[in-house]
Amino acid sequence: MLMNSEGASSAMAAQQQQQRVTLVVKHLPPELNEHAITELLARYGAIEVRPMRSSKLAGTAFAVFPDIMASNNAMHQLQGLQILGKQLSVEPAKGNVAPVAPPSQQQQFASIAPQLGYVLSCFH
């Protein structure tokens, strides 16, 4: 099936839309206005930011990232970040493919431990 350029561009836009990942950033300080929140999250790769101002969702923003790698990096860097006395909490929005958290040092060590065991046994 052939597509005209309009159909091809809309198909490409749909594919790019599917790759995007939305994170929920919680515990944003109330002192930050919408512009400051948008600027902050853009520094970590967000391409779209929707700060929530309702009383129920105050201090929360939805941040859209272009792909899983960008969302993983942002989540890793923003998780627990202290801003104006508030500690940020970041999680994938519902309906997203959950970003893969970077492996902990213990997981990294466990993956290479068998190789280290051989090396360490040589020194005994």
Asked if residue 9 is part of any domain, the answer here is no
pLDDT of residue 55: 87
**Domain span at residue 30?**
19-121
Asked if residue 5 is part of any domain, the answer here is no
- 75: exposed, middle or buried (C-beta count within 10 Å: 0-12, 13-18, 19+)? buried
Asked if residue 11 is part of any domain, the answer here is no
pLDDT of residue 19: 85
Asked if residue 76 is part of any domain, the answer here is yes
Asked if residue 30 is part of any domain, the answer here is yes
Asked if residue 87 is part of any domain, the answer here is yes
pLDDT of residue 29: 96
Asked if residue 107 is part of any domain, the answer here is yes
Spatial separation of the C-alpha atoms in residues 62 and 49, rounded to whole Å: 6
CATH of the domain at 47: 3.30.70.330
Per-block mean pLDDT, blocks of 10 residues, the chain (124 long): 51 59 96 96 97 91 96 96 96 74 56 55 46
Bridge partners (DSSP) listed for residue 23: 63, 92
Instruction: Report the domain count for the chain.
Output: 1
